[in-house]
Structure 1
Amino acid sequence: IIIMWKILIFYLFLELIHGNYTDPIYPISNPCLAILDRLSDMSSAFLNCAVSRARPFKLCEGCVDTYARLQDLVGLLDLTYSDVDRTITCKRFLESYDSIQVVAQLISFVHNIWGLSYCDNCIKNYKDTNGTTDYSLTNHTIKFVQKKLNFDLCIFNATGRMVPIIPIDLNVTLNTNVCTVRTTVYNEINEFFIQITRDNKNGVCMDIV
Structure 2
Amino acid sequence: MAYTILVFNILLITILIYHAVGREVPSACNDVRDQFAVAISEFTWCSINSSRPIKLCENCADYYINIISTYQNMSEVKSVNGTPCLDYFVNLDRLQIVETQYLSSVDLWNRGKCYECYVAANGTQSRERSNEYKQFMNYYESYNSCVTNNHDNPCPNCMDSYDLLQNYFLGISNSNERISFCIDLADLMNSTWTYWGENCCKYRKHHEYIFIGSTIGVIILTIFFYIGVQFCAEKRVPTIIQQTRFAESLSSLRN
Question: Could you say which TM-score interval applies, normalised by the shorter chain?
Answer: 0.7 to 0.9
Greater RCO structure (CA 8 Å; 6+ sep) = 1
Separation in structure 2 between the aligned mates of residue 81 and residue 8 of structure 1, nearest angstrom = 24
Asked whether the 8 Å contact 1:122–1:141 carries over to 2, the reply is yes
Indicate the residue corresponding to 2:42 in structure 1: 45
Q: Does 1:89 align with 2:93?
A: no
Indicate the residue corresponding to 2:129 in structure 1: 137
Q: What residue ranges of structure 2 are gaps of 5+ in the alignment?
A: 187-255
Percent identical pairs in the alignment equals: 23
Displacement of 1:203 in angstroms is 3.6
Query: Which residue type is aligned with residue 145 of structure 1?
Result: M
RMSD of Structure 2 on Structure 1 (CA): 2.8
Displacement of 1:98 in angstroms is 1.1
Paired residues, number = 178
Displacement of 1:146 in angstroms is 0.6
Indicate the residue corresponding to 1:35 in structure 2: 32
Q: Once structures 1 and 2 are overlaid, which stretch shifts more, 69-78 or 108-117?
A: 69-78
Query: Which residue type is aligned with residue 142 of structure 1?
Result: K
Query: Which residue type is aligned with residue 14 of structure 1?
Result: I
Match of 1:82, SS state, is coil
Q: Does 1:155 align with 2:147?
A: yes
Asked whether the 8 Å contact 2:16–2:97 carries over to 1, the reply is yes
Q: Does 1:195 align with 2:195?
A: no
Indicate the residue corresponding to 2:19 in structure 1: 16
Separation in structure 2 between the aligned mates of residue 134 and residue 203 of structure 1, nearest angstrom = 20
Asked whether the 8 Å contact 2:21–2:92 carries over to 1, the reply is no
* Residues 52-83 of structure 1: CA deviation (Å, up to 9, x unaligned): 00111111121111111111111112212123
Asked whether the 8 Å contact 1:121–1:204 carries over to 2, the reply is yes
Separation in structure 2 between the aligned mates of residue 121 and residue 134 of structure 1, nearest angstrom = 11
- Which of the two has higher C-alpha Rg? 2
Separation in structure 1 between the aligned mates of residue 91 and residue 60 of structure 2, nearest angstrom = 31
Query: Which residue type is aligned with residue 33 of structure 1?
Result: N
Indicate the residue corresponding to 1:58 in structure 2: 55
Select 1:76's aligned residue among 73, 82, 88: 73
Select 1:206's aligned residue among 155, 177, 183: 183
Structure 2 length normalisation: TM-score? 0.62
Indicate the residue corresponding to 1:112 in structure 2: 107
The verdict on how the C-alpha distance between 1:54 and 1:111 changes in structure 2, with shifts beyond 3 A counting, is same
The verdict on how the C-alpha distance between 1:204 and 1:134 changes in structure 2, with shifts beyond 3 A counting, is closer
Indicate the residue corresponding to 2:203 in structure 1: none
Separation in structure 2 between the aligned mates of residue 56 and residue 197 of structure 1, nearest angstrom = 20
Return structure 1 stretches of 4+ with deviation > 4 angstroms.
6-9, 17-20
Separation in structure 2 between the aligned mates of residue 150 and residue 138 of structure 1, nearest angstrom = 19
Match of 1:97, SS state, is coil
Match of 2:60, SS state, is helix
The verdict on how the C-alpha distance between 1:20 and 1:92 changes in structure 2, with shifts beyond 3 A counting, is closer
* Residues 77-110 of structure 1: CA deviation (Å, up to 9, x unaligned): 22121234x2x11121222431110110000000
Indicate the residue corresponding to 1:130 in structure 2: none
Q: What residue ranges of structure 1 are gaps of 5+ in the alignment?
A: 128-132, 160-173
